Amino acid sequence: MKIFICENADEIARLCAQKVINLIKRKEDAILGLATGSSPQKTYQQIIELSKQNNISFKNIKTFNLDEYVDYKKEKDSYEFFMKENLFLELDINLKNTNFPNKQNINNYDDLIKEAGGIDLQILGIGTNGHIAFNEPGTSFGSNTHIVNLTEQTIKDNSRFFTTIDDVPKQAYTMGLSSIYKAKEIILIATGKNKKKAIETLIKENKDISCPASILKDHPNVTLFLDYDCAPI
Ligand code: GLP
């Protein structure tokens, strides 16, 4: 794993967005793996700005999101809505080329990714308990896309995006750890003191299912983008 310790979230966003833009300049039909949450939000803003400045088209880009809630109450609570608001509607991407795991495709989401050619660049955040996508501690490293029961910790952490904690769905569809590991390149973004413990475990401890992100430790092309607050220095 390569580790970049950056001054702040803005610097992380600039570097990560540039990586995405460089990939698309090389490969106009690249396959992107995307995450929701606050960690990639600034990167998405930068991607929008850079693509406008450099006239970069997303019309041949395909995306596969990591996860989606099951039975969300309002459309605005869905990860699909988040992606439209934070990225897709600002780009010339064809919404038909954007994919989310759901009830219909859950058993062939990994095949859809494979048929598209595999993910060229996967963007990840990390949960305070070391989860990636919605793969909670204890998930098998061999897991494919599946449905999960969210832990109390994750429901609590994610409640900030909802009106009340009772609105947070209790289950989600998520790419598995094996699905994520297949990406050709992975960038993980983490900022803030509340991620420090998860990042410390990821960097310093051995690969173990108690920290799902530790599957990344032996991936050939992973970069962690950290700010000073969560870097174990
Ligand atoms: C959620 C998402 C993850 C995300 C994590 C961290 O549980 N399913 O994909 O990485 O939260 O979110 P944030 O970046 O908001 O801290």
Closest by CA to 131, choosing from 230, 212, 30, is: 212
Alpha-carbon distance of 1 to 224, in angstroms, equals 7
- Determine which one of 129, 135, 146, 157 is catalytic: 129
Tokens 């969210």 label which residue? 150
List the pLDDT tens digit at each of the 233 positions of the chain.
999 999 999 999 999 999 999 999 999 999 999 999 999 999 999 999 999 999 999 999 999 999 999 999 889 999 999 999 999 999 999 999 999 999 999 999 999 999 999 999 999 999 999 999 999 999 999 999 999 999 998 899 889 889 999 999 999 999 999 999 999 999 999 999 999 999 999 999 999 999 999 999 999 999 999 999 999 87
Residues touching ligand 1 (Cβ under 6 Å) are 35-39, 66-67, 125-127, 133-134, 154, 158
Active site (annotated) includes residue 136:
yes
- Determine which one of 80, 99, 110, 131 is catalytic: 131
Query: Model's pTM, two decimal places?
Result: 0.96
Alpha-carbon distance of 48 to 126, in angstroms, equals 23
Give, using CA atoms, the residue closest to atom 10 of ligand 1: 125
Residue of 34, 36, 43, 80 to test ligand 1 pocket, by largest number of atoms within 8 Å of CB: 36
